[in-house]
Amino acid sequence: MYASASTAGVTSWYYTITLTEQAGVAATLTRFSFAGTDESSRLSSFFSNGTAIPAHGTLATSLVSSGITTPANLALAFGGTDVNGNSWSQQITVPFIGPVLQPEIVLSGVPATVQQNPSADPSVNGSNA
């Protein structure tokens, strides 16, 4: 995933996490870790609409990360239990890539006002002297 443009020297990554239940059994998300750091205690701040995943449904959130030294492949791990009490877990590795350099060109000139088709001969400019 590519970083967004740096603002005030801070590079950020904006992304959406979507968990999809595929077995037809409702489940609950109880564990989440980012790059090896357990973030389970913060689940309610990440998933403000709760952590229940309906059977064949989804649970999604939008997150922002910063302070990542790139390039990096970071693991996002999820886990929980289904309504039958069975544990489940899933892990993905996400490549975090630094900001893409944007080409930039700055033009300046003197004088700042430019005349279209200037000529010393007034008849060329359409003037009658």
Within a domain: 129: no
Within a domain: 48: yes
Instruction: Give the total number of structural domains in the chain.
Output: 1
Mean pLDDT of 25-42: 97
Q: What is the DSSP string of 8-36?
A: TTB-EEEEEEEEE--SS--EEEEEEEETT
Structure confidence by residue, pLDDT tens digits, 44-83:
999 988 999 999 999 999 999 998 999 999 999 999 999 9
Query: Which pLDDT score is estimated for 127?
Result: 53
Within a domain: 1: yes
Query: Which pLDDT score is estimated for 11?
Result: 84
Within a domain: 80: yes
**CA atoms of 82 and 67, how far apart (whole Å):** 34
Higher pLDDT, 129 or 101: 101
pTM, two decimal places? 0.71
Query: Which pLDDT score is estimated for 7?
Result: 61
Within a domain: 65: yes
Within a domain: 127: no
Q: The CATH number of the domain where 89 resides is what?
A: 2.60.40
Query: Which pLDDT score is estimated for 10?
Result: 79
Q: Which domain holds residue 99?
A: 1-122
Across the strands, what pairs with 95?
73
Structure confidence by residue, pLDDT tens digits, 75-118:
999 999 999 999 999 999 999 988 766 666 776 767 666 667 76
Within a domain: 10: yes
Contact yes or no for 66/11 (Cβ under 8 A): yes
Q: What is the DSSP string of 68-120?
A: --SSEEEEEEEEEEETTS-EEEEEEEEEEB-PPPPP------SSSS--SS--S
**CA atoms of 69 and 71, how far apart (whole Å):** 6
